[in-house]
Amino acid sequence: MTAATHSTLFPQVPDSADAVLEGLDPEQREVATALHGPVCVLAGAGTGKTRAITHRIAYGVRAGILQPSSVLAVTFTNRAAGEMRGRLRQLGAAGVQARTFHSAALRQLQYFWPKAIGGSLPRIVDRKIQLVADAAAACRIRLDRGELRDVTAEIEWSKVTQTVPTDYTLAAAKVGREAPRDPAEVAQIYNVYEDLKRDRSVIDFEDVLLLTVGILQDRHDIADQVRSQYQHFVVDEYQDVSPLQQRLLELWLGNRNNLCVVGDASQTIYSFTGATPDHLLDFRTRHPGATVVKLVRDYRSTPQVVHLANGLLAQARGRAADHRLELISQREAGPEPLYTEHTDEPAEAEGAARRIRELMDSGVPASEIAILFRTNSQSETYEQALADAGIPYQLRGAERFFDRPEVRKAGIALRGAARFGGNDSLLDDAVDLPSQVRAVLSGEGWTTEPPAGSGAVRERWESLAALVNLAQDFAAAKPGATLADLVAELDERANAQHAPTVQGVTLASLHSAKGLEWDVVFLVGVAEGMMPITYAKTDEQIEEERRLLYVGVTRARRHLHVSWALSRAPGGRPNRRPSRFLDGLRPGSTATAGRTATGGPGGVERGATSRPDAAPRRTQRTPARCRVCGRTLTDAGEMKLMRCEDCPSDMDEGLYERLREWRGVQAKLSGQPDFCVFTDRTLMAIAEAEPTSPVELSRIPGVRKRKLDRYGADVLAICAGQELGESVGGE
């Protein structure tokens, strides 16, 4: 087993401090045993950084050098904090606080508020966007939905960079930040927003950090109390700290130096939120005596994937690029990355779905496949393609596993069976723990075979199936375990948010994929204008886009598929080109002028040229034109309606409502979301066109052959005003 190979699901707790160090590579062992003074760990993607720092904490605790209650480990997401707590528990170091910056600050703020301020802590607003809208209205400034979201982001950036409203205009200009409105207007809205919060006695997410910093700065007695509690700090993803978070960390530390930071400047992808790698890159300047350990052994990805990742960074510029780590794969050789060009985005999505179906048919679990894109708006096309192919999927950022209603209900049922199972006839024939769990969950909707489709019914089944699989793994790891033991394990996992794997292809933006990994990754939409994104103008912004692609590449363990489309929609002008970041790396391309590859030994290996999974090119169609004003259409939504968004609609409202009602019935029958039958825009297009034949219906974008065959008769009957019988429509 290599140093960062995933442990079994229920590993044995090491029986001694020395046993905690077993299986670590030399550099990871250096991290684990460097328990005094400032420590800086520069850790490349896939090099086992979480493994190194959790073993460091566990070794210190097990050796009696660190007291669990005196250690505070901070990171940036609840998922990462939960994973850290789970690993520490498995290593016998329970009791160590592992939290996000905000969670740790909120806990301190709630505790010290009565003493420092008096009374109870003000309510934290769930959605600040409504407050921003009210502030804009008070300023008599009209914001559309996009501007409202962007102004809210500007206020968040201002607060984490400790910029007050009166300084916003100058601060934004200094860093070249493009404001969504006149900077003076943004500053005005920001100022009124702060006034509204005070008037309504509420605080926002960023105030949690600001107020904690304020209290620790002003009240030395409270700062001393916090420092007496926490004497050893570990900060994960240190390249992502904002100036405000850095200030909070300094106040926690005081004049001590028991600090370990872990990060990788090449994975700095959140500068729009105020994150900066400068604190990581300047660590040795601020702490001249720091121990610095570089982790470059990549245990995650094959040499082929690693070579592409190194090649991307070899062409990078800027300060972060000067400190890049060249990864060295520790895995066996795998397939070359595949590069695929498509005529348009729907064809790209269909090609990905087709290849995923082939992978799943060959035995690759859906949970080990991900489709990663630059913006969330790209998701719908891939959701539709996967739904059309009958492939289950899950959107990254959805409700946490143990918060799902079906999981909570299953937990209640299992707890009841553990207490009163002797009187439950369901368990009469259950001879072991897995069969007991299957029997109990059969009453909650679990079946031996999954339901058809990929909608809500399938998602609920997948959640219950994940619990069934967890019970099987638990019983195998702990022979003789009872239902009560499993319930206790589930409770601990729920507290740590350590969820079992749910089957389903992951759809995620590149930003939300940070920290995750899959056997197979599809990087889609890797074209100029999307990667780098159109609004990335400065050298710094372009380089951050390159790092974002690097993060996407390094999510793949074995198979990597990179694709792009020549046009956005069918019939569009094929004027797109592959991302400049692939120049010199993909087959048939040459390196961008002035960029010299300085990657790993032997240069960058190019990808496969045969492209066996390339989708067949579509026949070019004539440009779509608005049937009202005649303008050429390029937007996919407008092309579905065959008119401009602003042109008047002649839709039959009654027909549209009948189609929506019919769609709801079909979705319920198939256990899918409504949009998997037809999207709202497709129904609008049908209601406007009122087709009278299969040929006319097939001309409407969104009505492909599969849907025409399945639903065409029903739709045409509804358009003709006919009543449908009970049996029409399904398969």
48 labeled binding residue? yes
Predicted confidence (pLDDT) per residue in 112-147, tens digit: 999 888 888 889 887 888 899 999 999 998 887 767
- Distance, in Å, from the CA atom of 158 to the CA atom of 152, rounded to the nearest integer, reads 10
Matching residue, tokens 């074995």: 558
Bigger pLDDT: 5 or 422? 422
Predicted confidence (pLDDT) per residue in 181-209, tens digit: 888 999 999 999 999 999 999 988 889 99
Beta strand segments in 660-731, E: none
Q: Looking at residues 535-557, what average pLDDT do you find?
A: 90
Coil, strand or helix at 342: strand
Tell which CATH classification among 3.40.50.150, 3.40.50.1860, 3.40.50.300, 3.40.50.261 matches the domain 329-399+503-582. Answer: 3.40.50.300
Which pLDDT does position 242 carry in this prediction?
87
CB neighbourhood size of 218 (10 A): 10
Does the pLDDT at position 522 exceed 60?
A: yes
CB neighbourhood size of 534 (10 A): 8
- The full DSSP string for 525-559 is --BTBBTTBTT--SHHHHHHHHHHHHHHHTTEEEE
Does the pLDDT at position 363 exceed 80?
A: yes
pLDDT band at 608 (very low <50, low <70, confident <90, very high): very low
Does the pLDDT at position 649 exceed 70?
A: no
Residues whose CB is less than 8 angstroms from the CB of residue 559 and which lie 6 or more positions away in sequence, other chains included:
334, 335, 338, 359, 519, 520, 521
Coil, strand or helix at 451: coil
47 labeled binding residue? yes
**pTM, 2 dp:** 0.66
Tell which CATH classification among 3.40.50.300, 3.30.930.10, 3.60.130.10, 3.90.1570.10 matches the domain 17-109+210-295. Answer: 3.40.50.300
Q: Contact, 42 vs 322, CB < 8 A?
A: no
Ranked by mean pLDDT, the top range of 45-59, 77-91, 531-545, 625-639 is 45-59
Question: Is residue 148 within a helix (H) or strand (E), and if so which, with residue range?
Answer: helix 145-160
- Distance, in Å, from the CA atom of 96 to the CA atom of 61, rounded to the nearest integer, reads 9
Which pLDDT does position 524 carry in this prediction?
96
Which pLDDT does position 172 carry in this prediction?
86
Specify the amino acid at residue 627.
R
- Distance, in Å, from the CA atom of 338 to the CA atom of 317, rounded to the nearest integer, reads 26
Q: Contact, 370 vs 342, CB < 8 A?
A: no
Residue 399 sits at φ, ψ, to 5 deg, of: -55, 140
Tell which CATH classification among 1.10.8.60, 1.10.150.80, 1.10.1200.10, 2.40.110.10 matches the domain 636-720. Answer: 1.10.150.80
Least confident of 484-488, 500-504, 684-688: 500-504
Q: Contact, 96 vs 61, CB < 8 A?
A: yes
Coil, strand or helix at 645: coil
- Distance, in Å, from the CA atom of 645 to the CA atom of 658, rounded to the nearest integer, reads 23
Coil, strand or helix at 330: coil
Does the pLDDT at position 619 exceed 50?
A: no
Q: Looking at residues 530-555, what average pLDDT do you find?
A: 89
Predicted confidence (pLDDT) per residue in 432-459, tens digit: 888 888 888 888 888 887 765 444 566 6
Q: Which two tokens stand for residue 129?
A: 């966007």
49 labeled binding residue? yes
Residues whose CB is less than 8 angstroms from the CB of residue 60 and which lie 6 or more positions away in sequence, other chains included:
35, 66, 71, 232
Q: What is the mean pLDDT of the chain?
A: 82
Ranked by mean pLDDT, the top range of 107-116, 457-466, 581-590, 596-605 is 107-116
Least confident of 79-88, 97-106, 129-138: 79-88
43 labeled binding residue? yes
285 labeled binding residue? no
